[in-house]
């Protein structure tokens, strides 16, 4: 399955993977990031229910210092 994460394409071997799992695999915590799938913001409560589809475009964002 091919998805676009933060603007770059990635191949995901798993047939079934939830957003929850994806974030966890990357060592990220819900406290720390906000996730957008196909321009839809997904509240972290829903991450377990969301399974990635081929061609999904995902943004994983967090806060940094800025002026």
Contacts to other proteins by CB under 8 A: 4-7, 26-29, 31-34, 36, 39, 41, 43, 59-67
Q: Reduce the DSSP state of residue 45 to 3 states and report it.
A: helix
State the minimum distance, in angstroms, from the CB of residue 67 to other proteins: 3
State the minimum distance, in angstroms, from the CB of residue 61 to other proteins: 5
CB 42 within 8 A of CB 60: no
Between residues 44 and 51, which has the closer beta carbon with respect to other proteins?
44
Alpha-carbon span 7 to 5, nearest angstrom: 5
State the minimum distance, in angstroms, from the CB of residue 11 to other proteins: 15
Residue 42, both tokens:
């997904």
């Amino acid at each position: 399955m091919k998805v676009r994460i933060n603007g770059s394409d990635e191949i995901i071997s798993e047939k079934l993977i939830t957003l929850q799992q994806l974030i966890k695999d990357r060592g990220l915590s819900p406290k720390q990031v906000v996730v957008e799938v196909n321009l839809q913001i997904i509240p972290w409560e829903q991450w377990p229910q969301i399974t990635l589809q081929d061609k999904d475009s995902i943004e994983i964002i967090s806060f940094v210092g800025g002026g």
